[in-house]
Copies of this chain bind each other. A is one copy, B any other.
Amino acid sequence: MAVRVAVAGASGYAGGEVLRLLAGHPEVEIGAVTANSNAGQLLGALQPHLLPLAGRVLQETTAEVLAGHDVVFLALPHGQSAAVAEQLGGDVLVVDMGADFRLRDAADWERFYGSPHAGTWPYGLPELPGARAALAGTKRIAVPGCYPTAVSLALAPAYAGALAEPDAVIVAASGTSGAGKAPKPHLLGSEVMGSMTPYGVGGGHRHTPEIVQNLSEVAGEKVTVSFTPTLAPMPRGILATCSAKARPGVGAAEVRAAYEKAYADEPFVHLLPEGQWPATASVYGSNAVHLQVAYDEAAGRVIAIGAIDNLAKGTAGGALQSMNIALGLPETTGLSAIGVAP
């Protein structure tokens, strides 16, 4: 019997992407699709690429509409998920693609989001140590942020293996869909095409504490993070360039071996052959993570670079992967490691 799934916030980019993937998931039946200001409109008017769903009418995001589903995906502005989740009851699997339940430290939440902390749910990055056990059978999933997904997977083997000093420097480029669908002047095509620009510099980006949380947990000690996100002229994709000083005695061979071992059995995280570097185009639309790692002898640094699709593995694909685990389905069901290129 099919798993019945609802999507709240179906008119935005995360909601659209989760619907794109759910439509190809063999065990799932798509139930209610909801929105706020766009309620009442046809999905086809807002998400014309979802052709088979074009005739669906967006309903209002209410507990009544969302009731009666086995799984509810929330693609809501931060701060709104807790209230909805509470009304859904404990037997519904709630997958929050927003930020509300990612952080464990309430002070971190309050400093970066300026509102009371709603709580912490099992963290939906299955490839991190211990994550799958926490996700199995859960009824609540906090889907990671897109940058933390790319960065954590790129640096986890270095910190799990104690290869690098707990002081990471990360510069990441993201496609514009990461900034959402609400129209703002700096996100206009006229502004972003042909332009690279940083934002949230100096530790201000809200994904910073999430990255610190993940790396520190893997390292077993507090990892300091300098994180600079940049906006790149492409609709999708994150390229995260991450580095840290190598610990004494660590060289290229140790680094390579640790990364090979860490992801040898992962279906979606792929360490490229030596000499081949990740490109965001290669993971377009897919759940794959392309990784490469190098040891820079002159600088004494481990450099790990990962490419993901911010909407797929970085949001909706990661969400489905965790849903599969929570429901006891094969983890790769309905997900592809093949990108759409060129």
Contacts and interface: CB of A to CB of B under 8 A. Distances in A.
A192 interface: yes
A272 B338 CA distance: 29
Contact of A48 (B20, B192, B234, B279): B279
Contacts of A299: 167, 169, 203, 224-226
Copies of chain A in the complex: 4
Interface string A189-210: 1111111111101110000100
Contact of A277 (B52, B198, B283, B288): B198
B194 A49 contact: no
A305 interface: yes
Interface in A259-307: 270, 272-273, 276-286, 288, 290, 292, 294-301, 303, 305, 307
A339 to B, nearest CB: 4
A230 B224 contact: no
A237 interface: yes
A233 B193 contact: yes
A173 B230 contact: yes
Contact of A49 (B233, B273, B284): B284
Interface string A233-265: 111110101010000000000000000000000
A176 interface: yes
Contacts of A288: 51
A120 interface: no
Given A239-B197, A276-B45, A51 B270 contact: yes
Interface in A77-131: none
A134 interface: no
A314 to B, nearest CB: 14
B228 A241 contact: yes
A337 interface: yes
Contacts of A330: none
Nearest to A184: B183
A176 B190 contact: yes
A237 B195 contact: yes
A49 B190 contact: no
A12 to B, nearest CB: 10
Contact of A194 (B236, B298, B337): B236
B298 A203 contact: yes
Interface in A323-342: 336-342
B285 A194 contact: no
Given A49-B283, A187-B190, A234-B194, A13 B342 contact: yes
Contacts of A226: 243, 296, 299, 301, 303
B235 A232 contact: no
A31 interface: no
B191 A191 contact: no
A16 interface: yes
A336 to B, nearest CB: 7
Contacts of A177: 190, 342
A229 to B, nearest CB: 10
Contact of A241 (B49, B171, B286): B171
Interface string A151-186: 000000000000000010101010111010101110
